[in-house]
């Protein structure tokens, strides 16, 4: 009888789709992601390595684009190569693994893959990406390859490679098409190594705050990236690589249902959200207790989302005091040196070397760290702190937190386990 035959076929199809379901290289959703970003290595950030920018003697050099454009090219090249060789080495991977972490997120710019006519970028980062994956494998760490800068800039932030008032990635089809090709390249590089590179982030922080013109491009780009990352062998065979999309600064409910199994049976998709409390006047004006409450309050905001939810950037720091954090030549809201801001207090003792931090400040950093780690584990699939190291902003770095006692040697050994209760 036709109806029962039809039912049999449907059952056969659904068990077939179970049989080919993704088997990720890390048990997302069952084990918590605990990780750290390797910021400021393969993509320069002025606040992470201010010396590289100060040494140019040119205050117009504010990002990697102008770093390559506005000084002698041979000098720029040799400074970059020395930096790539020294900023992160295998011993960092060893220390990260020893700290009980299981992931690193590795930002890389499009210019590592190709540079268009007229673009000043210097490439040469790919051998370091390959080394990073080897080192991660040696120490049992998983790598999130994170495309942090796209042609035209996806957000205008200096950490996209090019600081600009209004980003131009989304408004130019050529830029988007070039980015699609790079994601295909990244997916192809790592498709047979999901045990070390289980997950690819196709674009960091696209500027959804600029409105629906950006968001419609981002939505299509996530769908295209899903195809590029999950089907690198062609349409008949899936990879085991997970796709880590970013919320584009939208509330999570904006993304309800997007690339879930209910959406054309999409599988192997995780959502990245970034949580910072210092990039607004009201944020820097909060008291220590209010910062902790705000961190704990994220539990209700983040809980119950339908994709694996990873807080892919956050920090125990709660001021914008770090030099160049808001951009080279731009001050801090906290001390009122940012144009239009009202001072909350002095930045002295709140940024720089931990040797200048009071014991009460270090205690606050510990509470801030624990409140967030506890909340992000309770509400989602885990967390990745920004960032592993910085030249002179210890309040931000995992490395300094470990060395100076506000980050536990084992990431679940809390001193304040009930801080959010
Ligand atoms: C679009 O971007 C490409 C580089 O990706 C550039 O060559 C081209 O001039 C841009 N088009 C417009 C209209 O800006």
Ligand 1 neighbour 178 (Cβ under 6 A)? yes
Is 201 in contact with 226 (CB distance < 8 Å)? no
Ligand 1 atom at minimum distance from 175 CA: 5
The answer as to whether 155 is a domain residue is yes
What number is the average pLDDT over the span 317-339?
Answer: 98
Name the pLDDT band for 20 (thresholds 50, 70, 90).
Answer: low
Please report the pLDDT score of residue 210 as a whole number: 97
Ligand 1 neighbour 172 (Cβ under 6 A)? yes
- Spell out the residues 6+ positions from residue 281 whose beta carbon is closer than 8 angstroms to its own: 333, 341, 342
The answer as to whether 199 is a domain residue is yes
Is 229 in contact with 174 (CB distance < 8 Å)? no
The answer as to whether 151 is a domain residue is yes
Q: 2 pLDDT exceeds 90?
A: no
Name the pLDDT band for 66 (thresholds 50, 70, 90).
Answer: very high
Question: Ligand 1 centroid vs 76 CA: distance in angstroms?
Answer: 25
Q: Which domain holds residue 371?
A: 8-404
Please report the pLDDT score of residue 175 as a whole number: 98
Question: Ligand 1 centroid vs 166 CA: distance in angstroms?
Answer: 15
Q: Which of 45, 64, 205, 377 is catalytic?
A: 205
205 is catalytic: yes
Residue nearest to atom 13 of ligand 1 (CA): 172
The answer as to whether 35 is a domain residue is yes
The answer as to whether 203 is a domain residue is yes
The answer as to whether 421 is a domain residue is no
C-alpha span between 251 and 300 (Å, rounded): 13
C-alpha span between 153 and 164 (Å, rounded): 8
Ligand 1 neighbour 116 (Cβ under 6 A)? yes
Ligand 1 neighbour 151 (Cβ under 6 A)? yes
Name the pLDDT band for 370 (thresholds 50, 70, 90).
Answer: very high
The answer as to whether 312 is a domain residue is yes
**Nearest CA-CA partner of 128 in 90, 179, 95, 183:** 90
Give me the chain's average pLDDT, please: 95
Question: Ligand 1 centroid vs 62 CA: distance in angstroms?
Answer: 22
Q: How many CA atoms lie within 13 A of 299 on its CB side?
A: 14
Total tally of structural domains belonging to the chain: 1
The answer as to whether 2 is a domain residue is no
Please report the pLDDT score of residue 15 as a whole number: 40
C-alpha span between 92 and 41 (Å, rounded): 12
Please report the pLDDT score of residue 21 as a whole number: 84
C-alpha span between 308 and 227 (Å, rounded): 18
What number is the average pLDDT over the span 173-196?
Answer: 98
β-pairing verdict for 269-274 and 308-313: parallel
**In the chain, what percentage of residues exceed pLDDT 70?**
95
Question: Ligand 1 centroid vs 153 CA: distance in angstroms?
Answer: 12
What number is the average pLDDT over the span 333-348?
Answer: 98
Residue nearest to atom 6 of ligand 1 (CA): 174
Name the pLDDT band for 6 (thresholds 50, 70, 90).
Answer: very low
81 is catalytic: no
Residue 39, both tokens = 């910021």
**Three-state SS letters, the chain:** CHHHHHHHHHHHHHHHHHHCCCCCCCCECCECEEEEECCCCCCCCCCCCHHHHHCCCCCCCCCHHHHHHCCCHHHHHHHHHHHHHHCCCHHHHHHHHHCCCCEEEEEEEHHHCCCCCCCCCCCCCHHHHHHHHHHHHHCCCEEEEEEEECCCCCCCCHHHCCCCCCCCCCCCHHHHHHHHHHHHHHHHHHCCCCCCCCEEECCCCCCHHHCHHHHHHHHHHHHHHHHHHHCCCCCCCCCCCEEEEECCCCCHHHHCCCCCCCCCCCCCEEEEEECCCCCCHHHHCCCHHHHHHHHHHHHHHHCCCCCEEEEEECCCCCCCCCCCCCCCCCCCCCCCCCCCCCCCCCCCCCCCCHHHCCHHHHHHHHHHHHHHHHHHHHHCCEEEECCCCCCCCHHHCHHHHHHHCCCCCCCCCCCCCCCCC
Q: Which of 313, 370, 377, 395 is catalytic?
A: 313
Question: Ligand 1 centroid vs 172 CA: distance in angstroms?
Answer: 6
- Spell out the residues 6+ positions from residue 322 whose beta carbon is closer than 8 angstroms to its own: 47, 332, 351, 390, 392, 393, 395, 396
Q: 149 pLDDT exceeds 70?
A: yes
CATH of the domain at 302: 3.20.20.80
């Amino acid at each position: 009888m036709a109806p029962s035959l039809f039912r049999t076929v449907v059952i056969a199809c659904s068990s077939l789709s179970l049989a080919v379901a993704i088997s990720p290289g890390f048990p997302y959703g069952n084990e918590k992601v605990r990780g750290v970003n390797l910021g400021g290595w393969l993509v320069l950030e002025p606040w992470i390595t201010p010396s590289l920018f100060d040494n140019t003697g040119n205050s117009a050099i504010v990002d990697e684009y102008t770093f390559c454009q506005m000084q002698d090219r041979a000098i720029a090249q040799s400074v970059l190569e020395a930096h790539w060789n020294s900023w992160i080495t295998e011993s960092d991977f060893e220390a990260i693994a020893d700290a009980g972490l299981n992931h690193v997120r590795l930002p890389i710019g499009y210019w590592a893959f190709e540079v268009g006519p007229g673009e000043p970028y210097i490439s040469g980062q790919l051998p370091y990406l390959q080394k990073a994956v080897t080192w991660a494998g040696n120490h049992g760490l998983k790598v999130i390859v994170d495309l942090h800068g796209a042609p035209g800039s996806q957000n205008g932030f200096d950490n996209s490679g090019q600081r600009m008032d209004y980003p131009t990635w989304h408004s130019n089809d050529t830029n988007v098409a070039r980015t699609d090709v790079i994601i295909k390249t990244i997916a192809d590089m790592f498709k047979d190594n999901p045990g070390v590179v289980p997950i690819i982030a196709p674009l960091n922080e696209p500027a959804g705050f600029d409105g629906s013109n950006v968001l419609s491009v981002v939505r299509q780009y996530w769908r295209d990236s899903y195809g590029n990352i999950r089907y690198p062998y062609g349409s008949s065979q899936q990879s085991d690589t997970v796709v880590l999309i970013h919320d584009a600064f939208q509330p999570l409910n904006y993304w309800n249902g997007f690339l879930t199994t209910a959406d054309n049976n999409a599988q192997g998709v995780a959502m990245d959200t970034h949580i910072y409390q210092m990039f607004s006047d009201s944020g820097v004006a909060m008291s220590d207790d209010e910062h902790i409450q705000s961190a704990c309050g994220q539990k209700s905001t983040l809980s119950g989302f339908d994709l694996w939810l990873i807080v892919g950037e956050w920090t125990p720091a709660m001021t914008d005091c770090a030099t160049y954090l808001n951009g080279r030549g731009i001050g801090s809201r906290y001390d009122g040196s940012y144009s239009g801001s009202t001072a909350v207090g002095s930045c002295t003792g709140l940024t720089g070397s931990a040797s200048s931090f009071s014991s009460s400040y270090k205690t606050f950093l510990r509470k801030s760290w624990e409140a967030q780690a506890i909340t992000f584990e309770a509400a989602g699939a885990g967390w990745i702190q920004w960032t592993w190291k910085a030249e002179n902003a210890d309040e931000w770095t995992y490395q300094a937190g470990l060395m100076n006692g506000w980050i536990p040697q084992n990431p679940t050994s809390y001193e304040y386990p009930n801080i959010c209760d």
